[in-house]
Every structure is written in C-alpha cells, then in structure tokens.
Amino acid sequence: MEIRMTRLKLMLAAGAATTMLATGAASAATHGNRAALKDLPTYSGTVAHFTITPRGAIDGMILSNGTEILFPPYLSTEIAYAVKQGDQVTVRGLKAAGEPVIRGVTINDATSHQRVVDNGPPAGFGPHHHDRATRMMADGKVAQVLYDPGGRRNGLLLENGTVLHLPPPEFGNQKIAALLKPGATVAAVGAGTANALGKAVMVRAIGPSFDALTRIAPPHRPHRFQPRGPMAGPGAWHHAEWQPRPSQPAPAK
C-alpha cells in the first residue's frame, strides 16, 4: 500500500541527503516536490525485532545488523500489516549523527511487496488509540541500547525482545549506569503492555534483580513535544513523553 506524502513530510525530505547527514539536521529546503524522497538515503536489512511503546503501538524496528529504525506510533497498524519479522526491508530516512538510529520516512518490504509512507498523524489520533498501560515486570539480558531521533539513549532492548523505556537523563545516573549497557542482566518494574508484537515497560525501578531495585524519577509529560538535538524538525515525534518541560529542570538524581 502506498500513502501519498503530505506537504509537511516533503519539507522534511527536501534537500540533499549528504548535507542532512553531515549536519545531522532534518532541515527542509523546499516542499511540494515528490522527487525529494529520492534525496533521502536508503538503509536495507532483515527485520529482527519490532519495538513498541508502553501502550503497545509499534514505534520502530531493529534490523539484524543492530540498526534501529524509528517510526511514529500512528503508523503502527500499517506497519503491522505490511512488515513481519524476518522480512527484507528498505527504509528511506534520516540518521542521527554518530548513532545507529534512523528516523524512517518510508518502508518498502521486499517480502510482502507493501510500502508504507509517513503521511502525518490522522485526525484525532492519540494515546487512546492503543492499549492502556498496566503494571508490569520484566527481566533479562540487555541486547542493545535504544535511541530517540536526536541520538539520545532512551531505552534498552533485552535479548528476549522486551523493550525497556527510560528517560534519557537516567543514562547519566551513576547508580544504575552499569545496568544500562549490552550484556548486563536487569530486572525492571513499571507500566507497560504485552501483546503479539512484543512487550514494553515504562521503567519506574530497575536493578540487577527484583530484590535490588533502584527507583528512578518519572519524566515530566509536556503538553506538546518540543524536539531537541540534531534531528529536531518536522516529524520529530518519538518518545515525546520523556522530554522535560522547558520551564523545569530535569529531575534531580
């Protein structure tokens, strides 16, 4: 299936790909030019895992080479129909400078022959469109660190496929720093969802085991996402709940 690209997303796609990668910015030079999609670099690989939000929506995928591809949760249903684990995909998008994370704009699935294009959120889209988060526990060995579109660390993928969401400031918390890296064994409690796509937990306490947990400060939830970092710009939607309010400092450790 192919979705026509909106004016907003064409603004995101416009400009030379080499310039966007060099500066790490999702800048837009023109709009209204469908050919601008061709300027975006492509990334190909096999889908190894999906990542989901604590409410159960797909918000990305991990390729077999470890590359993380991010998509907005409002594409969750389309991605679920078009892409399966093990499929070969080609993604066009923008890469965060210095980190293996790409903000995807289009997906072409060579197995299903389906195409998904980010057309912006549908009218009325919101958290109520997905499952309600409930209290959950998760444990396992860390496979890799996850990132937001700006290249900030904001989660962990466990070897069993579970996604642990954490506020980016917690990656500077020395009390838990040893746990937030590949190979570490972790246990976490928080609020989340488990469904056919996987399991995700918004972490409220984490430790090497369930009897040795360290509480972490909950993130502020702004009224609007204010993107920051090298990939700020139209479509910088991912994990908005982890952004501190501009008028308040990040929680003290």
**pTM of this structure:** 0.73
Residue with the bigger pLDDT between 51 and 150: it is 51
Q: What is the pLDDT of residue 120?
A: 83
Q: What is the pLDDT of residue 39?
A: 81
State the Cα–Cα distance between residues 140 and 127, nearest whole angstrom: 28
User: With bands split at pLDDT 50, 70 and 90, how would you rate the model's confidence at 34?
Assistant: low
Do residues 140 and 185 lie in contact, with contact meaning Cβ atoms separated by under 8 Å?
Answer: yes
Residue 8, H or E segment = helix 7-13
Instruction: Please give the mean pLDDT across all residues of the chain.
Output: 77
Q: What is the pLDDT of residue 127?
A: 54
Residue with the bigger pLDDT between 167 and 24: it is 167
Number of residues in the chain: 253
**pLDDT tops 50 at residue 157:** yes
Pairing mode, strands 68-70 and 88-95: unpaired
Is the domain covering 133-215 a CATH 2.60.120 domain? no
Q: Which residues have C-beta within 8 Å of that of residue 211, sequence separation ≥ 6?
A: none
* HSE (side-chain half, CA atoms, 13 Å) at 244: 12
DSSP 21: H
Tokens of 43: 């990334």
Do residues 216 and 191 lie in contact, with contact meaning Cβ atoms separated by under 8 Å?
Answer: no
The residue assigned the tokens 């066009």 is 92
- How confident is the model over 93-133, as pLDDT tens digits? 999 888 889 999 999 999 999 999 998 887 766 554 455 67
DSSP 177: G
**pLDDT tops 70 at residue 52:** yes
Q: How much is the average pLDDT of 21-33?
A: 33
**pLDDT tops 80 at residue 146:** yes
State the Cα–Cα distance between residues 100 and 123, nearest whole angstrom: 32
Residue with the bigger pLDDT between 59 and 237: it is 59
**pLDDT tops 70 at residue 213:** yes
**pLDDT tops 80 at residue 30:** no
**Which string of b and e fits 138-153 if b means at least 16 CB within 10 Å?**
bbbebbbbbbbbbbbb
Distances (CA, A) of 249 to 56, 171, 220, 246: 29, 16, 10, 7
Q: What is the pLDDT of residue 126?
A: 58
Do residues 237 and 225 lie in contact, with contact meaning Cβ atoms separated by under 8 Å?
Answer: yes
- How confident is the model over 64-87, as pLDDT tens digits? 999 999 999 999 999 999 999 999
Which runs of E-coded beta strand occur in 96-184? 101-109, 115-117, 134-147, 153-158, 163-165
**pLDDT tops 50 at residue 11:** no
Distances (CA, A) of 178 to 5, 76, 120, 125, 185: 43, 33, 38, 38, 10
Residue with the bigger pLDDT between 220 and 140: it is 140
Task: Specify the range with the lowest mean pLDDT, choosing from 35-44, 218-227, 240-249.
Answer: 240-249
User: With bands split at pLDDT 50, 70 and 90, how would you rate the model's confidence at 12?
Assistant: very low
